[in-house]
């Protein structure tokens, strides 16, 4: 007769628990593997309705399946005292024979408080396998609780189950006395095939089991040791120069900042012996009483009032340390962001929170619940430590936001909102096109030298960078540089999507950006093409022959065709445009972080060379223009060097910038003449140039906009709302996307 599914489910658990007897004499890794297998059963075992058939489906749906498996496990142990004693002995040996300090104090923290050390540690955890042959509970915890839902079911364990679980781990004096009476000569019998009743079997315990110390007292001692270790780490981190200089206290005195960190260690040294005395007093109490409770009828061997006073003082210092750490990001907001400092401050804040957690596990009114919360937090940390992306996102978010905010300040100048600003954009873009016409011939001249790959890329980058800097100094513009700057300014409009005015403001910014891009590209192309054409004709007249031969000129135009890889190259160029904006934000942040404007202003050597007044002007100029200079120089070298670098690895990835492409067409027509207009491939290249403009803009804007949204923590959930608003704007005011709206009388009066 086939066994029922419920009977089979119970048989699986019974077979696993039956192995507990052999684990007492097993080697350390074998004992740990058995515990891992037991947790795997709790996590992924049979469905709860097979284990607990008396419970309804509605009841089972109230808790995670793992919680019901824990209940089934405890029910089976309660029905079999011998097996329960063996499992309890294995769990107690696990607690007593492994080092918990690293788990309690250091789990989730890098051995060296540095961002790249943590990065390397996460990479190691992600790639290298772990071994159960260790007495380090931190390493074992990662093997036992690495599943995604472990934190959920650990925190969902009800109080009754937590108390029953605690009874398996904690051995009190009464339990030790009972174990001492066990007949040590009893055979280590197991359930035989004849069906011997479980109660007839004596618990097969290791001979040294009764001599083991009290596990509850041992665990409390481990918590105290972990707090001692954590306090030393907090004190050392609080005195580190990079954090101390950026903390703020009630006054500006350095002593006020470091005082809580200095006093924390001495406060803990005064509190620690009182906690140990309290733990000793609670060692012989019942399993679920407070650690401070003395056995019934006895006086506690310590002064509770003194203990509470010392504890209050220690927690006050912890709060002061935490408050000082919370001021570090405020300083970074104003004076520049360092990823290393962000990481150090985050780790220090978590260490302070860890001490509070350990104190709650030691002193809280419900220590079982506090332990469950702590283990759930450890399970979440275990999952997080496998994620390099989470580390990068957390520590680069503040830097990304500062980069985006600095671009938002700059980007406002690139958005046209009225006819006067639109005309100004056309004029500035035309000036940029004029300079880029010369840049086009500069690039062709460098290519004519047939230099090796990297020298050619360097000088082409130098040509681009010099041209971009000239455009910036003359307050002109290059159209495709705008989106990376304007996107963060637009992201500010999405701070509250529930506000209709905010959504309408965002739609207005989109329309303004699109028409600004149209004006910028139109102005660039309107002058770069004739400038390159006139320069080509002029140099041909002066030298008596075209500088480009016909074959080369035709090849240059054909390479821009929409039918070729031009769209891919245009997207690649958009990525480089975005990268230059990130470099610009990083450079400005570093300039502010290291106070280089103050160094230029006050450095004695610089003042001796420039003079005080000129040093002051230089400092102010660089503070205003560092982002502009970094953006233009970096973009130039990215456009020149990155394709050369990729070509060195056999990857053909070329730059397709709309302004440069239009200039290249003008230079080529200077050689080929107007007859080229009769060829179809020429018009495919014209379409390719137009596609360049669209893809340059869309790619750089998309990447910059995503960065701005991520850095602000904005989650755009209701995309339909934005799309509907954009469609409504396009339907009712289509010209607003290509031409500025006519100013109302109120607007005109404001601009007078």
Model pLDDT, residue 500: 72
Q: What is the pLDDT of residue 173?
A: 40
Specify the 3-state DSSP secondary structure of 99: strand
Q: Is the pLDDT score of 689 beyond 80?
A: yes
In a domain? residue 732: no
- Which of 109-118, 445-454, 627-636 has the weakest average pLDDT? 109-118
User: Per mean pLDDT, which range of 156-160, 542-546, 639-643, 713-717 is the poorest?
Assistant: 713-717
Residues 92 and 220 in one domain: no
Per-residue pLDDT of 124-145, as tens digits, reads 777 788 889 999 998 899 889 9
If asked whether residues 408 and 525 sit together in one domain, one would say: yes
Tally Cβ neighbours within 10 Å of residue 130: 14
| Range in 165-169, 192-196, 694-698 the model is least confident about | 192-196
Q: What is the pLDDT of residue 749?
A: 37
Residue 373 CA to residue 155 CA, distance in Å, equals 6
User: What pLDDT, on the 0 to 100 scale, is given for residue 363?
Assistant: 85
> Has residue 429 got a pLDDT over 60?
yes
Does 320 or 24 have the greater pLDDT score? Answer: 320
Interval 257-271 mean pLDDT: 87
Count of domains observed in the chain: 3
Indicate whether 462 and 499 sit together in one domain: yes
Is the pLDDT at 14 greater than 90? The verdict is no
How confident is the model at residue 114, as a pLDDT? 60
- pLDDT surpasses 70 at 319: yes
Residue 43 structural domain: 1-97+145-184+208-212
Listing DSSP states for 110-163 in one string gives -SSS-HHHHHHHHHHHHHS---S--SBHHHHHHHHS-STTHHHHHHH--HHHHH
Most confident range, picked from 121-130, 164-173, 673-682: 673-682
Residues 472 and 619 in one domain: yes
Does residue 670 contact residue 441 with C-beta atoms inside 8 Å?
no
Query: Which of the four pLDDT bands, split at 50, 70 and 90, describes residue 335?
Result: low
Whether residue 310 has pLDDT greater than 60: yes
Q: Over 60: is that where the pLDDT of 187 sits?
A: no
- What pLDDT was estimated at residue 751? 35
**Residue 201 forms part of a structural domain:** no
The string of pLDDT tens digits covering residues 236-261 is 988 888 888 888 654 444 456 678 89
Residues 60, 180 within the same domain? yes
The whole model's pTM is what? 0.64
Same domain flag for 458 and 569: yes
Residue 718: its pLDDT value, please? Answer: 57
Judgement on whether residues 591 and 620 belong to the same structural domain of the protein? yes
Query: In the predicted model, what is the mean pLDDT of residues 681-704?
Result: 90
- 209 Ramachandran zone, left/alpha/beta (phi>0; psi -120 to 50): alpha
Of 137-151, 401-415, 436-450, which gets the smallest average pLDDT? 401-415
DSSP letter for each residue of 269-310: HHHHHHHHHHHHHHTTS-TTS-TTPPPTTS--SS-HHHHHHH
Query: Do 368 and 501 share a domain, yes or no?
Result: no
- Indicate if 642 and 502 belong to the same structural domain: yes
Please give the angle made by the CA atoms of 444, 450 and 452, to the nearest 5 degrees. Answer: 120
> Is it the case that residue 287 has pLDDT exceeding 50?
no
**Residue 574 pLDDT greater than 60, yes or no:** yes
Same domain for 565 and 416:
yes
Which stretch of 36-50, 474-488, 599-613 has the lowest confidence by average pLDDT?
474-488
Question: What is the predicted pLDDT for the residue at 199?
Answer: 41
Q: What is the mean pLDDT of residues 467-472?
A: 95
Amino acid 700: pLDDT: 85
Does one domain contain both 56 and 106?
Answer: no
Quote the CA–CA distance of 285 and 216 in Å, as a whole number: 10
Tally Cβ neighbours within 10 Å of residue 625: 14
Task: Report the distance separating Cα 165 and Cα 67, nearest Å.
Answer: 12
Flag whether 681 is in a domain. Answer: yes
**Among 55-64, 74-83, 196-205, 436-445, which is the least confidently predicted range?**
196-205
The pLDDT value given to residue 413: 56
pLDDT of residue 201: 45
Q: Does the pLDDT of residue 228 top 60, yes or no?
A: yes
> Mean pLDDT throughout 70-91?
91
What's the pLDDT at 286? 33
Whether residues 169 and 236 share a domain: the answer is no
Residue 632 pLDDT exceeds 50: yes
User: What is the CATH number for 601?
Assistant: 1.20.1080.10
Give the end of a domain, one of 197, 212, 227: 212
Residue 393 reports pLDDT greater than 70: no
261: in domain: yes
């Amino acid at each position: 007769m086939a066994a029922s599914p419920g009977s089979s489910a119970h048989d699986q658990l019974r077979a696993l628990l039956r192995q507990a007897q052999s684990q007492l004499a097993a080697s350390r890794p074998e004992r740990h593997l058995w515990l891992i297998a037991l947790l795997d059963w709790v996590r992924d075992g049979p469905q709860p309705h097979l284990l607990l058939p008396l419970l309804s489906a509605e009841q089972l749906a109230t808790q995670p399946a793992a919680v019901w498996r824990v209940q089934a496990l405890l029910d089976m142990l309660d029905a079999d005292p011998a097996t329960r004693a063996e499992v309890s002995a294995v769990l107690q040996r696990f607690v007593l024979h492994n080092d918990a300090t690293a788990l309690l104090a250091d789990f989730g923290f890098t051995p060296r408080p540095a961002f790249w050390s943590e990065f390397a540690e996460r990479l190691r955890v992600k790639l290298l396998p772990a071994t159960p042959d260790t007495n380090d509970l931190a390493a074992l915890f990662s093997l036992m609780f690495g599943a995604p839902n472990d934190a959920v079911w650990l925190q969902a364990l009800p109080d009754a189950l937590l108390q029953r679980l605690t009874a398996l781990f904690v051995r009190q004096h009464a339990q030790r006395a009972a174990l001492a009476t066990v007949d040590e000569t009893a055979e280590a019998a197991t359930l035989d095939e004849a069906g011997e009743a479980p109660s007839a079997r004596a618990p097969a315990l290791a001979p040294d089991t009764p001599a083991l110390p009290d596990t509850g007292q041992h665990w409390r001692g481990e918590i105290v040791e972990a707090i001692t270790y954590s306090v030393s780490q907090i004190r050392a981190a609080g005195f580190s120069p990079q954090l101390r200089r950026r903390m703020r206290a009630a006054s500006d005195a350095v002593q006020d900042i470091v005082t809580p960190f200095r006093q924390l260690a001495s406060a803990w040294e005064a509190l620690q012996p009182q906690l140990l005395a309290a733990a000793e007093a609670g060692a012989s109490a019942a399993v679920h009483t407070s650690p401070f409770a003395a056995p019934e009828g006895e006086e506690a061997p310590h002064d509770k009032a003194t203990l509470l006073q010392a504890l209050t003082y220690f927690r006050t210092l912890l709060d002061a340390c935490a408050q000082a750490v919370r001021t570090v990001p405020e300083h970074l907001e104003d004076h520049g962001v360092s990823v290393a400092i962000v990481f150090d401050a985050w780790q220090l804040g978590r260490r302070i929170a860890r001490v509070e957690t350990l104190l709650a596990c030691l002193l809280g009114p419900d220590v079982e619940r506090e332990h469950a919360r702590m283990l759930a937090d450890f399970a979440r940390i275990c999952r997080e430590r496998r994620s390099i992306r989470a580390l990068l996102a957390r520590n680069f978010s503040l830097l990304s936001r500062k980069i985006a905010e600095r671009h938002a300040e700059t980007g406002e100048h690139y958005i046209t909102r009225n006819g006067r600003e639109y005309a100004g954009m056309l004029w500035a873009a035309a000036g940029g096109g004029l300079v880029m016409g010369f840049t086009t011939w500069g690039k062709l001249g460098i290519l004519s030298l047939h230099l090796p790959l990297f020298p050619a890329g360097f000088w082409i980058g130098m040509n681009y960078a010099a041209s971009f800097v000239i455009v910036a100094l003359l307050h002109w513009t290059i159209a495709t540089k705008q989106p990376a700057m304007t996107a963060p300014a637009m992201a500010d409009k999405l701070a509250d999507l529930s506000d209709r005015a905010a959504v309408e403001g965002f739609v207005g910014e989109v329309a303004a950006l699109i028409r600004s891009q149209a004006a910028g590209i139109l102005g660039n192309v309107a002058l770069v093409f004739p400038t390159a054409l006139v320069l080509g004709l002029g140099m041909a007249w002066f030298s008596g022959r075209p500088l480009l031969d016909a074959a080369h000129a035709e090849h240059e135009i054909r390479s821009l065709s929409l039918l070729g890889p031009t769209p891919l190259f245009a997207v690649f160029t958009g990525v480089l445009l975005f990268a230059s904006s990130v470099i610009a934000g990083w450079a400005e942040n570093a300039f502010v972080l290291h106070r280089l404007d103050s160094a230029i202003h006050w450095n004695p050597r610089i003042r001796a060379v420039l003079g005080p007044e000129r040093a002051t002007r230089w400092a102010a100029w660089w503070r205003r223009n560092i982002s502009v200079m970094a953006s233009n120089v970096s973009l130039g070298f990215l456009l020149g060097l990155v394709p050369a670098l990729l070509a060195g690895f056999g990857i053909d990835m070329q730059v397709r910038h709309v302004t440069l492409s239009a200039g290249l067409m003008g230079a080529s027509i200077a050689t080929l003449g107007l007859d080229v207009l009769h060829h179809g491939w020429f018009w495919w290249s014209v379409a390719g140039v137009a596609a360049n403009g669209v893809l340059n803009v869309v790619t750089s804007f998309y990447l910059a906009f995503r960065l701005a949204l991520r850095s602000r923590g904005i989650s755009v959930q209701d995309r339909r709302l934005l799309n509907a608003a954009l469609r409504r704007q396009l339907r009712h005011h289509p010209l607003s996307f290509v031409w500025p709206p006519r100013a109302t009388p109120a607007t005109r009066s404001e601009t007078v």
